[in-house]
Amino acid sequence: MKVTILGGGAWGKTLAQLSQQAGHNTRLWLRSESLAEALVGGDYIFSALPMKAVREIAYRVQAESLYQPGTLLVSATKGLELESEKTEVSTAPLKTASQVWEYCCPSLTVAALSGPNLATEIAQGLPCATVVAHPDPAISARVQQVLAQERFRVYTSPDRIGVELGGALKNVMAIAAGVSDGLGLGTNAKAALVTRGLAEIVRVGVYLDGQLETFYGLSGLGDLLATCNSSLSRNYRVGFSLGKGQPLSEILDQLQGTAEGLNSAQVLSQYSAHLGLKTPITDQVTALAKGTTEPAAALKALMGRSLKPEQLV
């Protein structure tokens, strides 16, 4: 197979490594290179672009007719977009990466890939599992066969939106978990935060038509556990540094790559406020990112919420 990976960050490079290990003719595309040359004659496209670049590159792919109808693209971007064009007719202004690809390139077949996949560990050959999702099981099975190998186990799911939302929203919770550790709040506090974070993910995910069981699988709970407990996660490191009192501008200057949770938090907070959805952890992460609150004040706001029964949905 000829496989093209869009995006030269850590995840893009790791996907390219996996593709090469599986014996495929693999091309890793960087912005300095020709997009047309990278995509010509390709069997599969994997997009590991930052969320902020997805719409721009997708429009280029469409405008320059760089794919054949039915070409399979696998989106591996864990982010959210709120802005949509005035000409775009949609009942869901909040979009995942695969939805942006579908809108910009309507003749593409788009699947999604997500799970507890810390790129550094995979690049080291450590075992892990992931999920590829598409409503048509035959399509997700094709991707499964392309990537699956001894130390990279690939499951399939029909719930593309749920798989993507699990991956995007857990980044927000990873920032919160990092703040908790940075403040030195202990294991009990972090366990409570992550558990309530999962409830918040489920609440939003089910509202946006994700399937409940998806959020208790690899792309939901699995990814949440990995990202909230590892310094390999950029989102966790951002939160940890915030908890230590470091200004966000300095944190981002030192960060290699993108912490998608910062943008996803602001997108979700704005969206949920419009709809009346309760997303208290997301709202506090957004306030931290905007500099309108401090970590200790965010903790006080969460702990001071009104008492209620525990609800997991």
Please list the active-site residues: 170
* Kind of pairing between the strands at 44-47 and 2-6: parallel
Burial class (CB in 10 A: 0-12, 13-18, 19+), 24: middle
Q: For the chain, what's the residue count? A: 313
- State the virtual CA torsion across 241, 230, 161, 29 in degrees, nearest 10: 90
Question: Sheet of 152-157: strands edge to edge?
Answer: 25-29, 2-6, 44-47, 72-75, 109-114, 128-133, 152-157
Q: How far apart are CA 48 and CA 147, in angstroms?
A: 15
CA angle, 120 then 144 then 64, to 5° = 85
